[in-house]
Amino acid sequence: MGNMKRLTMIFAVLAMGACTDAERFGAGGLSGGSSASGAGVDAAPDSPAYFQQAIGDRVLFAVDQSNLSDEARTVLAGQAKWLLDNPDYEAVIEGHADEQGTREYNLALGARRANAAREYLVAQGVPERRLRTVSYGKERPIEICSTESCYAKNRRAVTVIAGGLSS
């Protein structure tokens, strides 16, 4: 188990290696809520607020899709690094859909999205036990207009940093 964990960590660190340049985290508007670096973020680097604002807490999806874009992978790699750097935190990944779908299907679609993000984080070395997923379907939009500009932001998986692991 210890070896496995160490190997996983090594893999994760290697995987992170290419991404340590903060300039690449959340580049572009699509990652939402992130800035190019920690600059302008008051929060301490080990705080959930920093994760949300500087790392970027969400990735976006195409219509009716749950596959991760290159940009989403970059954001998730940043999330994974932060989670590995801050091992006391757990995370809940919330999957969401836009309103253009039936309620049950959107719940299932949101779950697919949350799980896609989760699987990527796990592949980057974040222990499965620290990650949970929940789908809100179309129940919790952040943008409320009924056009693609809003829908694009609502089709998301948001990694919410939750209370620390009990040790």
What does the block give as tokens for 44? 């301490």
d(CA 127, CA 87): 9
The answer to the question of residue 91 lying near other proteins (CB under 8 A) is no
The answer to the question of residue 5 lying near other proteins (CB under 8 A) is no
Nearer to other proteins, 21 or 129 (CB): 129
The answer to the question of residue 144 lying near other proteins (CB under 8 A) is yes
d(CA 163, CA 140): 22
The answer to the question of residue 105 lying near other proteins (CB under 8 A) is yes
CB of 90 to other proteins, least distance (A): 13
Map residue 1 onto helix, strand or coil.
coil
The answer to the question of residue 130 lying near other proteins (CB under 8 A) is no
CB of 115 to other proteins, least distance (A): 3
The answer to the question of residue 148 lying near other proteins (CB under 8 A) is no
The residues in 47-86 that bind other proteins, with binding defined as CB under 8 A, are: 64, 66
Which of left, alpha, beta for 92 (phi over 0: left; psi -120 to 50: alpha)? beta
Interface residues toward other proteins, by CB under 8 A:
64, 66, 99-105, 107-109, 111-112, 114-116, 118-119, 132-136, 139-146
